[in-house]
Amino acid sequence: MATAAEKRKREDDDEGDYSDPVIKKLAKTVSCMPAIFDGTPESQREKDKWDFQPISKEQAEIQPRGERPVRVYADGIFDLFHAGHARALMQAKNIFPNVYLLVGVCSDELTHKSKGNTVLTEWERYEALRHCRYVDEVVRDAPWVVTPEFLERHKIDFVAHDDAPYGSSGTDDIYKDIKAAGKFVATQRTKDISTSDIIARLVKNYDTYVRRNLARGYTAKDLNVGFINYSKFRVQDKVDRVRKRVKSVESKSKEFVSMVEGKGMEMFSKWEERSRELVGSFLDMFGAEGRLTKIVRGSTDYIKKAVSPVASSESSEDEDYYEQDDDDVLTSRLHLPERRSPSSLRRNSLDEKKRLANGSI
């Protein structure tokens, strides 16, 4: 009985590499397409371009571009395709100057039998590899152990994998024969990243991810969560919501207090500045040299002068004027002849007589 992978492969063989309606649509307009599948017309045309003769590593290292590319094969499960996978394929693609990279992906049936269950289905794993920039061709339903017949069928020059022995299928290293034949090229494994590590993270934080998916609409049945765990997760969610509200209130309270403190400091600064202005204005008005003090001083001097004026020549002349006899004032004002007293008249007559007597002599 044919497996699902074999059925899908036959369908693709009949329709070519563009059986996917999305890829069919893109093929008319997009220049960068995903990697082709093995067994398709595109794969066959690629092999028909070249005359395949055995090539050594020394020849592969100087093989110029434009001539037959070196066909390098890398295989694996590629479950939960991650950075470690991508970096291994990058090394394989650049192991020689001119490389055509084929990547073999084992089917679900073979993987479950030889290694265990996978998270992604075989189709998901095939598609993940097709859309990696370093891959030129994806070999579906790849064998667990690479044989000479497999190498010949796909015109493979070298097999790329990390150099650590990979024990399986009753052998300590499934690449032992390839290494012995001189067709193995080593890549470096990326530390601290693997599918097993990713799954371990998920298991370690199981509660967190289950609650995350429950919050996103998955049901307990979808996640295979029992009633007790489901109830526990609901209680934890409520506690987290309450804690979040408390933190929110606390944060807003701190913001409010900070705002009030800021406003208070601003108001205090303004008050201090205003008080300085008021004190300055008060001193300008009421201080020792203030305007009001000067006004008071001036008023006091004026009052003193008004009460006890200082004597002057002008005031004495006024007093002499007012002390004159009323008749003199009247005579001076009316320009009348001066009125003489009898004594003055007698003196004048005596003077006149003496002048005459002297004159006669």
| C-alpha 303 chain-centroid distance | 78
Q: CA angle at residue 4 from 108 to 75, to 5 degrees?
A: 40
Helix (H) or strand (E) holding 101: strand 99-105
Question: What is the average pLDDT across 304-328?
Answer: 55
Between residues 355 and 38, the one the model is more confident about: 38
Location of structure tokens 């998270």: 119
Question: What is the average pLDDT across 277-282?
Answer: 79
Question: What is the average pLDDT across 36-47?
Answer: 94
55-64, 175-184, 272-281: least confident range = 272-281
How is the chain split into domains, by residue range?
Answer: 21-193, 196-303
Between residues 325 and 133, the one the model is more confident about: 133
Helix (H, G, I), strand (E, B) or coil at 76: strand
Beta carbons within 8 Å of 27's beta carbon, 6+ residues apart? 18, 33
Nearest residue to 74 (alpha-carbon basis) of 194, 153, 175, 182: 175
| pLDDT at site 248 | 82
Between residues 76 and 284, the one the model is more confident about: 76
SS (H, E, C) 309-348: CCCCHHHHHHHHHHHCCHHHHHHHHHCCCCCCCHHHHHHH
Beta carbons within 8 Å of 36's beta carbon, 6+ residues apart? 17, 42, 43, 46, 136, 137, 138
| pLDDT at site 44 | 94
Residue-wise pLDDT for 112-143, tens only, equals 999 999 999 999 999 999 999 999 999 999 99
| pLDDT at site 330 | 45
% of the chain surpassing 90 pLDDT: 47
With bands split at pLDDT 50, 70 and 90, how would you rate the model's confidence at 320? low
CATH superfamily, domain 21-193, is HUPs (3.40.50.620)
Helix, strand, coil share (%) of the chain residues, nearest 5: 55, 10, 35
86-95, 122-131, 157-166, 301-310: least confident range = 301-310
Beta carbons within 8 Å of 88's beta carbon, 6+ residues apart? 74, 160, 162, 187, 189, 190
